[in-house]
Every structure is written in structure tokens, then in C-alpha cells.
């Protein structure tokens, strides 16, 4: 019989493995597989197949509108004129808004990748008489999920 469990990588995993050894389950009966998280990726434009819920266009359009209005207003006072002033304000607002949005998102993604650790799958092979002990040890040491696999001998 096999039991599979999912642990966060922590000291409780090491304690669980030590307690399994104490009840007579040897190292060759335990398989430990670390699962590494893929890094979160940042995309500028969401597609129909992938959407991360973050839009870089929102802040850029708001600051572009503000820049265009200010450029048009001050374009009447300056020698550039309102059309060129509004265009320059729009371009600078779009660039500033997009830059701020990308900078904040990169900080958020790097913080997310640092906080999120890796998970570990532990597979234990044992006799059915030790099932309650193994399950109790894994649950006591904060196993997130547990699954069972019963090995069949085949059809006769």
C-alpha cells in the first residue's frame, strides 16, 4: 500500500520523515519529490487564452488623458500651440503611466516569487497494518493533502 502526501517545504517535513523512520519505515520505502514553482510571468497585453487580471493600460490611459488635457491648456499659453502641446502631453502621460505600472508589477512579481516556497510530495510504501500510524504522523506534521494507492495483484 502507498500513501502520497503534499507538504510545504519546512521543518515539519523533516520531523515527519524522522518519525516514519522511528516506526520502522526505512529510507528505501520513502520517495520525496520537490515541486518547484514556475516563476510568474508578466505580459503586457492579455490574450483570450491567458489573462492574469493585471492591466498596464489603465494607469497609462489615465495619465495620458491628464497629460493631454494639461498639454492642451498650456499649449494655448506656450508657443507650441494646443495640438502639439496635447500630443506631447498624451505621449508623456502614456509613457509615464506604463513605466510606473511595469515597475510596480515587477516589484510585485519578485515579491510573490520570493514568498512562495516549493512544495514536496512524499510517497511512502508500507504494510496495511501501519496505515493508521503513518496517516497520523503525516497529518500531525501538517500534510496539506493525503491520497492512497492500493496496489492490485492483477485479475485472475
Give the H or E element holding residue 28. none
Q: Which three cell numbers stand for residue 81?
A: 500651440
Neighbours of 90 (CB within 10 A): 21
Instruction: Report helix, strand or coil for 59.
Output: helix
The owner of cell 494639461 is 70
Helix (H, G, I), strand (E, B) or coil at 33: strand
Predicted local confidence at residue 104, as pLDDT: 83
Q: Which pLDDT score is estimated for 110?
A: 64
Predicted pLDDT at 84: 94
CATH architecture group of domain 2-37+119-149 = 2-Layer Sandwich (3.30)
What is the predicted pLDDT for the residue at 154? 47
In the prediction, which pLDDT does 39 show? 62
Question: How far apart (Å, rounded) are the C-alpha atoms in residues 136 and 16?
Answer: 10
156 residues of the chain, pLDDT tens digit each: 889 999 888 888 899 999 999 998 888 999 999 887 666 565 656 666 666 666 778 889 999 999 999 999 999 998 889 999 999 999 999 999 999 988 887 777 666 555 556 788 999 998 888 888 999 999 999 888 898 888 765 444
Question: What are the start-end ranges of the H helices in the chain?
Answer: 11-22, 57-77, 82-115, 131-140
pLDDT value of position 40: 56
Amino acid at each position: 500500500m502507498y500513501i502520497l502526501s503534499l507538504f510545504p517545504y519546512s521543518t515539519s517535513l523533516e520531523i515527519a520523515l524522522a518519525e516514519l523512520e522511528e516506526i520502522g519505515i526505512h529510507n528505501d520505502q520513502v520517495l520525496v519529490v520537490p515541486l518547484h514553482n514556475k516563476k510568474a510571468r508578466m505580459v503586457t497585453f492579455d490574450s483570450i487564452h491567458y489573462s492574469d487580471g493585471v492591466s498596464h493600460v489603465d494607469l497609462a490611459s489615465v495619465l495620458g488623458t491628464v497629460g493631454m488635457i494639461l498639454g492642451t491648456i498650456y499649449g494655448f499659453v506656450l508657443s507650441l500651440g494646443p495640438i502639439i502641446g496635447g500630443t506631447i502631453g498624451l505621449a508623456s502621460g502614456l509613457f509615464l503611466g506604463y513605466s510606473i505600472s511595469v515597475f510596480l508589477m515587477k516589484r510585485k512579481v519578485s515579491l510573490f516569487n520570493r514568498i512562495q516556497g516549493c512544495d514536496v510530495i512524499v510517497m511512502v510504501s508500507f504494510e496495511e497494518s501501519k496505515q493508521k500510524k503513518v496517516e497520523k504522523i503525516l497529518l500531525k506534521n501538517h500534510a496539506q493533502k493525503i491520497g492512497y494507492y492500493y496496489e492490485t495483484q492483477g485479475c485472475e
